[in-house]
Structure 1
């Protein structure tokens, strides 16, 4: 799957140049390529297992884990916003941390504040919809191929955070309601993404809608596979544990990001 067909939302557009220097501007986020979706899936899996590892296995507790990972995320965002083009190591480090923090936000609403899944899911759905509405009202576009200003990138990362939080709450709600187990849940979400892809390639779904729906659903899909690998056999998993599972996926992310850096895959001229 190439950058021109992996839920591409570009359409007809022209390259952006700096009005003062005339230099070409680059997108600060990656093209949607096959390896984009690969690292995204790996990142959300790590988001689930790493949050469980730090919270439970290391004994920090939910509140302390949330505060610690939020600090790491803020630091990562500072480095990411300092870039004038897509740099894989900064971008994907930020995605992994957003995945962890998004998971922890939902966990705090459920475990610390006592909310049920339905109001949490509805709240994050409303927050994501509001983010898109304000983003479009201010910028007149939701294209991920035109993220070359601070404000557009801020909208982008806010949307990303809400997709992870929403994916966590909706995925957990569905998994608990169906009780089908980790592996079947993961396969079910994969089937939903296949349907979205089919609708997109069949010309029945807008590229922007297809991209963001797939982005949301990869969260519970990755979490299901992560739980399947890490949870004890008695609970329906393979029993690898959160440490081993997290290390496997961190290594896979590192290898893919190294490939992206060497190949410059994902680097894109900003479009308007």
Structure 2
């Protein structure tokens, strides 16, 4: 979705630069979707691998974003490597901001989407009042570039909230959920070709690529039992980072995304009548999308997000098990190999805590969480009460080991309690 090349003149007081953005071609949208997929999968992987929690991970990437953005803004023209690195980092950072609101602060996704929509509207309003244009082909001064990158960051956070909210409302799996943003991007492209406002269609498509890329990342990374194909977040991140690198190298050498001369217009010559008609059609599509989401939400379903992030509920029995009963039930119902693996990881974690190797302990705690989650369906089906009891003891282990200021006594107590429930390795 190209935008008109003509834009208001840069104020004399502003430092004028060559274009700081790429040509809006098919390459732009391909690499943008690659970046958003990395934003989803790599944010999930880093949060788990670092073991420091969402807030600390977000702080780390906020600092990284500031450094990368400072380098990008010091340049005087578009450089593919610096530009797309900034997009990748902002994709991860924006995703983390939404995840903090949802997972850490408990803010409903609908409210998050509303807040980010309002923030984006304010950014656009101030940008337009100050610069008299929202076209990204006018990014030839420091103030305009600052507005542009702020808008980009908010669109990533907004797109994350909208995508997750859609999954919550519909209960669709990661594969099926790819279709809605893909179809909407197709409609927006058709309306742009028809003569819709190019600036409006660009930013709508830009927002929609975020849930599309995130859903692709989930589909590739999640296990088959969760509706994915099982590549994992790390493999998915490496795959897409490699694709981004290859594309950036190609664009750097070919300059296929560099604006060399002014374009004469969009795919169709825009007229006021066409623009009004396209705006009406875009509004109708928005209403139809809301209606579809409302309808699917009214149909009984399990939330895809709940399935991914929440523990199942056990309805068998009304009296909670004691520790001795849970240990006996686990030894009777759970595979011995699984229990042996959990004991080994827990023992390793306790030894690392005792020796003062907090980083190593956090890594093994992540191994415990992964092993427990991978066995969840089978163990829960075998004895949901024993699973629920042990699951409730694993949570304190994870939180104590991953605490910002770990308390060795609390860590050792939580780990020893879990070991007692898991029992010894005897028959």
Q: TM-score, normalised by structure 1?
A: 0.91
Task: Report the counterpart of residue 9 of structure 1 in structure 2.
Answer: 3
Name the counterpart of 2:150.
Answer: 158
What is the rounded CA distance, in whole Å, between the counterparts of 1:96 and 1:12 in structure 2? 28
Aligned residue-pair number: 260
Radius of gyration: which is bigger?
2
Distance 1:263 1:11 in 2: 22
Paired position in structure 1 for 2:42: 50
1:231 aligns with 2:225: no
Matches within 5 A, 1:46-125: 46-125=38-117
Report the 3-state secondary structure (helix = DSSP H, G, I; strand = E; otherwise coil) of the residue aligned with 2:4. coil
CA distance in structure 1 between the aligned counterparts of 2:219 and 2:112, rounded to whole angstroms: 24
2-side partners of 1:120 and 1:55: how far apart? 20
Please tell me whether residue 174 in structure 1 is matched to residue 166 in structure 2.
yes
Q: 1:63 offset after TM fit, Å?
A: 1.3
* Whole-angstrom CA distance in 2 between matches of 1:60 and 1:264: 40
Distance in 1 (CA, whole Å) between partners of 2:169 and 2:216 is 18
1:164–1:219 Cα contact (<8 Å) kept: yes
Q: Quick check: 2:7–2:138 contact (8 Å CA) kept in 1?
A: no
In structure 2, runs of 5+ residues without a counterpart are 263-427
The one of 237, 242, 251 aligned to 1:246:
237
1:213-232 map, 5 Å = 213-232=204-223
The 2-side partners of 1:225 and 1:125 are apart by 23
Distance 1:17 1:105, change over 3 A: closer
* Contact 1:79/1:90 (8 A) holds in 2: yes
**In structure 1, distance between residues paired with 2:162 and 2:139:** 28
Question: Which residue, 159, 172, 175 being the options, matches 1:183?
Answer: 175
Map 1:21-40 onto structure 2 (within 5 A). 25-40=17-32
Unaligned stretches of 5+ in structure 1? Answer: 1-6
1:140-175, Cα deviation, whole Å (9 max, x unpaired): 111111101110000000100111000000110011
User: What is the CA–CA distance in structure 1 between the aligned matches of 2:56 and 2:164, rounded to whole Å?
Assistant: 22
SS in 1 for 2:138: coil
Residues 9 and 18 (structure 1), Cα distance of their counterparts in 2 relative to 1, 3 Å cut: same
Higher relative contact order (CA 8 A, sep 6+): 1
Whether contact under 8 Å (1:26, 1:268) holds in the other structure is: no
Q: Deviations over 1:111-163 (max 9, x none)?
A: 12111111111110000011111101000111111101110000000100111
Please report how far the alpha carbon of residue 266 of structure 1 lies from its aligned counterpart in structure 2 after TM superposition: 2.1
How far apart are the structure 2 equivalents of 1:122 and 1:128? 10
Please identify, of 56-65 and 194-203, the stretch whose mean Cα deviation from structure 2 is larger: 56-65
- Alpha-carbon distance, 1:12 to partner: 4.5
Alignment partner, residue 135 of structure 2: 143
Q: Measure how far apart 1:270 and its partner are.
A: 8.9
Could you tell me which residue of structure 2 aligns to residue 3 of structure 1? none
Q: Provide the rounded CA distance (Å) in 1 between the counterparts of 2:95 and 2:212.
A: 13
In 2, the alpha carbon distance for the partners of 1:94 and 1:103 equals: 14
CA distance in 2, matches of 1:222, 1:176: 17
- Between the aligned partners of 1:270 and 1:212, the Cα distance in structure 2 is 23
Q: Structure 1 residues 83 and 11, CA, compared in 2 at 3 Å: closer, same or farther? A: closer
